[in-house]
Amino acid sequence: MTKEFTRQGNTVSFQMVIPGDQIEKKMQEVYLKNKNSFQLPGFRKGKAPRQLLERTYGADLFFEDGVNECIPEIYEETTNEMGLKLAGQPQITLDSPYTKGQDVVLNVEVEVLPEFEVKDYSKIEIAEIKYEVSDELVYNKLQEEKEKARRATPVERQAKLGDVTVIDFEGFIDDEAFEGGKGEDFPLELGSGQFIPGFEDQLVGAKAGDQVDVNVSFPENYGSEELSGKDATFKVTVKEVQEIEYPEIDDEFIKDISEFDTVEEYKADTRKNLEEEFAEREKAEVRQAVLRKVADLAEFEVPEAILENAVDREIENFSANLRQYGIDFDQYAEMSGTNAYDLRDDFREPALINSKIQLIMEKIIEQEKIDATEDELKAEIQRLAELYFPTNEEEQKKFIDLYSGKNAEFVKDDLVFNKALDMLVENVVFVEPKEADPVEKAEETQENKKETIEERNKRIADLYETGDYTQEQLAEKEDLSPSTISRIIREAKKDK
């Protein structure tokens, strides 16, 4: 029995009533379960009557446990009868002190799913996503293979750009060694940009056995605050000079590294693989773009319980990535100059968006009556087993057994979600990006003006020469592999 139902936002409040005879029955069960824990004078342990125990310790001795025994069943029955879609755990309190033989009234407050209407989703509009395979991309793939096949041969001469010097080094600032500034037997390719600007140039002309003082300045935007902008001297011992030999990209080279006989066959296959890769990338990005639009299909407040759970998942995913590098979340927080509690706020925005998407998709699934058949579910479990354990049939069987019982719901939820997303993607409308402001458009046109490979390479080399970018930063900025950036910088220095 319930009474006094109210709703404010996503929080509902109501009262549940436990009949007096029902609570009395549960209290007796609690007494029988726990009587061996009590001993009163004149009675053997576990033989003291309930009435005497209650007279000694209080009439409500078994009341709290009795109520707790009643709550799960009556709470489930009550919320089902009320048709509540629960979002979190309830807060339950007594309305008044226990009185023997009387009904027990409980005050309940709990978050429920929000009520909202979904806007039209029949034709979601997104900007077209298209990736073209350029000759440059194919060329870069060939250059990467060339880099992999290079050979280093020790030589008895002065080092020049493009050579590898095997060095021992130690860095000093104001005549004091600093942490992380020491290395032994380090193979440094001169002109590669592995070290800060100016370091490698000062080893040009050195021979095996030479001692060289390398004087450099750390960039202002260097990753370590202690070193940023500081002048440093590295004591360097050149142990060996190696000349790097690169193979010619010809048919013989292609036969050595692949199943193909000619450069043209290899390039055609590389283009085909890139086209397939880009097609998958386009599909994935279209799906993500549609989901971002889904978040705008309804306005509502996400229940705090759902949001907190989503934040926990975001943090767990982030922590799993950190653990790959031997760092836990608390350590990361300390390194970031904050604490784990305050860092949670950084994850609230993505958690909020993902929670909105999930709730809206569930509403779409409900409206469209989207479900998965038993055959579809079995096929999906089989697909996942083969995906996770492609060569281990025993592990595949364990996976299938695990997710063919009660755990099948986890797979089914994802399957139904993706079926709903498939429906939205099938009906998507690709549109031209919105017209930009004329000034912004002119600037964008200038920035995106087609560059030749030579122009791009010169621009990248010039950026590196400014000392404002490391090799890794340029690779990320230009969306190129680190080996490609290294090659561009090395070839630019050779040309000089």
Question: What pLDDT does residue 474 have?
Answer: 79
161: left (phi over 0), alpha (psi -120 to 50) or beta: beta
Q: State how far the Cα of 28 lies from the Cα of 15, in Å rounded to an integer.
A: 24
- Please enumerate in sequence order all residues whose Cβ is within 8 A of that of 263, keeping only pairs 6 or more positions apart, or say none: 142, 249, 250, 251, 253, 254
Query: Residue 168 forms beta bridges with which residues?
Result: 237
**Longest Cα separation, the chain:** 105
Q: What is the pLDDT at residue 153?
A: 94
Residue 114, amino acid: P
118 Cβ contact partners less than 8 Å away, ≥ 6 residues apart: 297, 298, 360, 363, 364, 367
Measuring CA to CA, which residue among 345, 278, 351 is closest to residue 314? Answer: 351
Q: Across the 496 residues of the chain, what is the mean pLDDT of every consecutive 10-residue run?
A: 80 93 92 91 89 90 92 93 93 89 93 95 93 92 90 94 94 92 93 88 95 92 82 96 93 95 96 96 95 96 95 92 87 80 88 96 96 95 95 94 89 96 95 64 50 76 76 76 71 64
d(CA 273, CA 271): 5
| pLDDT value of residue 445 | 47
Q: Where are the beta strands (DSSP E) in 76-121?
A: 91-94, 104-111
Rg (alpha carbons) of the chain, rounded to whole number: 34
What CA–CA distance (Å, rounded) separates 96 from 80?
25
Q: Determine the pLDDT at residue 3.
A: 63
CA distance 16 to 104: 8
CB 319 within 8 A of CB 343: no
Both tokens of 3, joined, read: 């009474």
Taking Cα atoms as reference points, which of 421, 423, 425 lies closest to residue 413?
Answer: 421
Predicted pLDDT of residue 403: 92
Whole-model pTM? 0.72
Residues 143/150, Cβ–Cβ less than 8 Å: no
